[in-house]
Amino acid sequence: MIELKISYRYQKVIVLLDEEDAELCEIAWRITKNREHLYARKKINGKTVYLHTLVLERKLGRSLESDERAEHKNRRSTDNTRENLRPATRSQNAANTLGRKTSSLGFHGVTRNRQGYAAAIQYRGIGEWLGTYRTPEEAHEVFKRRHAEVHGEFSPYWKEKTTDN
């Protein structure tokens, strides 16, 4: 494994690559921030190219389709090893999140209501009510199970579900 160090705001960001992608270290990559994630990118022939997309395309031996994105399985945007990258639709990529850090309760898929803590999920544009529970932890457990059911391997809770059964 290679640790590529790229400067970003007076510090070094470590980007992981496999040995078979070593020649990509010769390119002068820049770091860009998208929400809380950092990505290595470079302008090539006037087009922005992201390192993770380039690595995935090399892994697949083809360009990504227009509806595909390069997705990080472990949600670490600086881990650009081939094992960690897979093609995903925009919806699948969005499913692989643990929720916004700004969540007031700190639990993905849980809100407070008059009866307690409500769990709900949105999938393919349709909201699904999962019930109201006494604690946010209970509501979150229900949400995690349902999230794994509807999103499968793209759910960050998928491993939890498959190891529990």
- Residue 75 — very low, low, confident or very high, per pLDDT cuts 50/70/90? confident
Is pLDDT above 60 for 37?
Answer: yes
* 142-165 pLDDT tens trace: 998 998 888 888 888 877 555 555
Q: Which of 123, 66, 56, 120 is nearest to 94 (CA)?
A: 123
Query: pLDDT at residue 1 above 60?
Result: yes
Return all residues near 72 (Cβ < 8 A) that are at least 6 apart.
52, 79, 80, 84, 85, 96
Mean pLDDT of 2-19: 93
Residue 93 lies in a domain: no
Q: Which tokens sit at 56?
A: 């995935």
In DSSP terms, 163 is beta-bridged to none
The two beta strands, 126-133 and 116-123, are antiparallel
Same domain? For 34 and 56 the reply is yes
Residues 110 and 144 occupy one common structural domain: yes
Could you tell me if residue 124 is left (phi over 0), alpha (psi between -120 and 50 degrees) or otherwise beta? left
How far is residue 105 from each of residues 10, 30, 97, 100, 161, measured CA to CA in Å?
Answer: 34, 35, 16, 11, 23
Q: pLDDT exceeding 70 applies to what percent of the chain?
A: 92
117: nearest Cα among 99, 106, 132: 132
Cut 0.85: pTM above it: no
Residue 23 has pLDDT above 70, yes or no: yes
Q: What's the pLDDT score for residue 163?
A: 55
One domain, residues 83 and 8: yes
Pull the structure tokens for residue 143: 């949400």
Across the range 103-118, mean pLDDT stands at: 85
**Are 12 and 77 members of one domain?**
yes
**What digits encode the pLDDT tens for the residues 116-133?**
999 998 887 788 899 999
Whether 11 and 82 map to the same domain: the answer is yes
Taking only the tens place, the pLDDT of each residue in 87-98 is 998 877 777 776
**What is the structure's pLDDT at 95?**
74
Last residue within a domain, chosen from 70, 88, 106: 88
Taking all residues of the chain, what is their mean pLDDT, rounded to a whole number? 87
Share of the chain above pLDDT 90, in %: 59
Note whether 70 and 125 are same-domain residues.
no
- What residue numbers bound the domain in which 118 lies? 98-164
Same domain? For 71 and 109 the reply is no
